[in-house]
Structure 1
Amino acid sequence: MRPLTIGALGITRPPTDAVVAQAQGLEADGVETIWYSDHFLHWFPPGVWTQDLVPQALPGSTPHVFLDPTALMAAVAQHTQRIRLATGVTDAVRRHPAVIAQTFITLDHVTRGRSVLGIGVGEAENIVPFGLPYERTASRLIEAVEVIRLLWGTPEPVSFDGDHFRLTDAILGARPYGDTPPEIWMAAHRPRVLAAAGRLADGWFPVILDAAEYGARLADLRAASVAAGRPADAVRAGLYAWLLLTDTAEEADRLLDESLLLRLVALTAPAEEFERAGTEHPLATRWGLLDFVPTELTRDEALAAAAAVPGEVMRRYFMHGTPDVVADRLATFRAAGLEHVDLVDMAALGDPALMASAPERRRAVMQRLAAAA
């Protein structure tokens, strides 16, 4: 098993000076990779973005502010030296795989070998409102990665005849900055995409809440790599970890019980989490992360759905509490094979006053994990 490395969620909103400053601070702290979201929308329905419900909802503001992650990666690369810069994650619905291939070869040169392509099936909130197709997303993702690999593999003409993408004597002449192209990390969860990740990916980047489940899916991934003729450990085992870092357990409990925004985030949980708590998903969806479109909910519908999230789901969905407590929970994933964790602290959504001290708590988690290595 490789040493454990740390990632962090990058800022993707203006001003860009803050984006750069955050990246420089993360690099100084020893973070290995910054993961930049590729979104159009946040998970918050417009009807609830009012100051009577959300302190952050200043007049005229919107939560749906996202800059293009690839442009931010290029900008940040000019002001950092070592930290890796990744999409966390993009999709092949809004971006054609040939465009992705060219963009990340470009970023490979701009970053001098530090760019990472994180890619998944896509989320309905970023696709459906814009009139784009949102079906057969698993097969589309798999084909997209195959096309990207094909275009990166040679400067000669290549052809591809898939259900979603077709190439006829297509050429991508630009070659990688170094000896190898950018790494591809796949957000894979279901068996078909897990098998494809074992065959095609350099890294695995799931959202999984239970260490035992994580270990079981990692075993399936390792078996898929072997079946594809690759080493069992060909794919780095990552995790997108939802955190709620606070100074006390009581503060974490307060946020979990009282924060509307955190309850809306919890609507992205899979149906299995609600079934475990003895109820159905409030949105009657298989997996909110993929299917939740916040603009489809009225204010009353959003409030009712948020109120229906059980406390048990809230407490499982977020690794919550003090840095020591959260580090201990992450250690169970490490024991299951975790090699890279993206620390996504959402405490400031529950209480904006926690934002200024969030880096201190993140550093404490990093120190605890390093001490346990």
Structure 2
Amino acid sequence: MSEPARLELSAMGAVRPPASAALEAAARRERQGFDAVWWADHLLHWFPTSIWAPDLVPQAAAGQASPHVWFDPFAVVAAAAGATERVRLGIGVTDVVRRHPVALAQTALTLDHLTGGRFLLGVGAGEALNLAPIGVANRRPLGRLEEALEVMRLLWASPDPVDFRGDHFTLDGAALGLRPVGDRPPPVWLAAHRPRGLALAGRHADGWLPLATDPDEYAGMLAAVRAAAAAAGRPGDAVTAGLYARIVVAESRTQAVAAIDRSLLLRFIALTRPAEAFARHGAEHPLGEGAFGLTSFLPTRLGREEALRLAGAVPVEVLRDTVIHGTPDDVAGAIAAFVDRGARHVQLTNMTPLADPSMAATSEALLADAVVAVRAATSA
């Protein structure tokens, strides 16, 4: 019997100036033993500009003028390729609404070359806060995403001109002569959580990177991905089972819980969760019945009073459940539960500085301890 694949651990890349610090952060993650670094593709953050004030947000009091400070992640990946040697570098995730799939296919191959085959392309159906404020409609997002994947695969399969007729995209003799640096194009990872998206991941993705905090819920989603892959005639290991794990790590579980409970910003992160996450705790989503904040939350439209009302409506149980939290050993135990249910790639996204900036330096050291603890807890 073959041994199970080694668990891959990845981290979130730095997305704000100075550029030198962002590149050093990538190099530090490589030294810490991470297998990959992912960069988010955002225009706006989840935090309303109306609450970004010194009396409410420590980061604003410290001089950060806006919550909406993001590098273009594709450019950062290109620069990070020269600052690292081994670690894989990914976009986690972009959309095919702002970025046309033909342009995205070319960019992915370019980064494949610049990174020496280390690039990972993460895509999703699109988030409202990146699209609606710039007047971009996102109709039938999963249909668009599936066509985009087909377009990219078609262009990567051959340097010859190709045609494509879909509801969202049309190719008429389009060609992408650039070939992968190795024997296959960059892996495509999908962020998906609901039935149609999970089926799409099973049919088309090389990796699956969902947000989850409940291991049993995760196992159910993974089963749906695997069932769709099998129905499409793909092998059982065709889709690497990933996990996007937000963590708050501290020297004690009590300290971690206290940081979460007093964090206004984490309350807005909690608003991005689906209605099911609130229903588990007997609550309705503050954005309305059936809401999924990732696809409906528009923070820049909220005045201060309404924003604070929504944040205050997040039950503390949902708030704490939004992040895996505690000591490095607590984090390791929680991650091990997901590994037991099939996870093979876990992104440990350190949300501690967001919850409490005064804990940033300590959490960085504790994150390194968490990596060691996770490796130990999942190596058996």
**Shorter chain as normaliser: what TM range?**
over 0.9
Q: What is the root-mean-square deviation in Å for CA atoms of aligned residues?
A: 1.1
Please list the CA deviations of residues 110-137 of structure 1 after superposition, one character each: whole Å capped at 9, or x if unmatched. Answer: 1110111000011000000000012211
Give the Cα separation in 1 of the matches to 2:136 and 2:44: 14
Please list the CA deviations of residues 33-60 of structure 1 after superposition, one character each: whole Å capped at 9, or x if unmatched. Answer: 1010000001110110000001110457
Quick one: which of 152, 162, 166 aligns to 1:162?
166
Whether 1:178 and 2:189 are equivalent positions in the alignment is no
Residue in 2 aligned with 1:22? Answer: 25
Identical pairs, percent: 51
Whether the aligned pair in 2 keeps the contact of 1:142 and 1:193 (CA below 8 Å) is: no
> 5+ residue gaps in structure 1?
none
Please state how far the C-alpha of 1:277 moved relative to its aligned partner: 1.8
Quick one: which of 35, 42, 47 aligns to 1:44?
47
Whether 1:148 and 2:156 are equivalent positions in the alignment is no
Whether 1:81 and 2:85 are equivalent positions in the alignment is yes
Moved over 4 A (4+): none
Letter in 2 for 1:269: R
Please state how far the C-alpha of 1:145 moved relative to its aligned partner: 0.9
Whether 1:235 and 2:248 are equivalent positions in the alignment is no
Please list the CA deviations of residues 87-146 of structure 1 after superposition, one character each: whole Å capped at 9, or x if unmatched. Answer: 010000100000100000000111110111000011000000000012211111111111
Give the Cα separation in 1 of the matches to 2:307 and 2:249: 25
Please state how far the C-alpha of 1:153 moved relative to its aligned partner: 0.6
Give the Cα separation in 2 of the matches to 1:143 and 1:193: 13
Letter in 1 for 2:203: R
Where do 1:119-134 residues align within 5 Å? 119-134=123-138
Whether the aligned pair in 2 keeps the contact of 1:256 and 1:311 (CA below 8 Å) is: no
Give the Cα separation in 1 of the matches to 2:376 and 2:10: 17
Give the Cα separation in 1 of the matches to 2:282 and 2:151: 43
Residue in 1 aligned with 2:362? Answer: 357
Give the Cα separation in 1 of the matches to 2:213 and 2:19: 32
Give the Cα separation in 2 of the matches to 1:259 and 1:144: 38
Where do 1:285-364 residues align within 5 Å? 286-364=291-369
Partner SS state of residue 41, structure 2: coil
Give the Cα separation in 1 of the matches to 2:296 and 2:161: 37
Whether the aligned pair in 1 keeps the contact of 2:250 and 2:362 (CA below 8 Å) is: no
> 5+ residue gaps in structure 2?
none
Partner SS state of residue 305, structure 1: helix
Please state how far the C-alpha of 1:278 moved relative to its aligned partner: 1.7
Letter in 1 for 2:165: D
Whether 1:112 and 2:103 are equivalent positions in the alignment is no
Give the Cα separation in 2 of the matches to 1:106 and 1:83: 17
Please state how far the C-alpha of 1:200 moved relative to its aligned partner: 1.3
Whether the aligned pair in 1 keeps the contact of 2:286 and 2:310 (CA below 8 Å) is: yes
Q: Which deviates more, 11-20 or 360-369? A: 360-369
Q: For this pair of structures, how many residues does the alignment match?
A: 373
Q: TM-score, normalised by structure 1?
A: 0.98
Q: Which deviates more, 218-227 or 234-243? A: 218-227
Give the Cα separation in 1 of the matches to 2:357 and 2:33: 25
Please list the CA deviations of residues 196-225 of structure 1 after superposition, one character each: whole Å capped at 9, or x if unmatched. Answer: 211211100111221111111111211211
Please list the CA deviations of residues 265-310 of structure 1 after superposition, one character each: whole Å capped at 9, or x if unmatched. Answer: 1111111111222221112162112211100111001101111100
Give the Cα separation in 1 of the matches to 2:35 and 2:309: 40
Please state how far the C-alpha of 1:264 moved relative to its aligned partner: 1.3
Whether 1:199 and 2:203 are equivalent positions in the alignment is yes
Give the Cα separation in 1 of the matches to 2:69 and 2:175: 35
Please state how far the C-alpha of 1:364 moved relative to its aligned partner: 1.4
Residue in 2 aligned with 1:33? Answer: 36
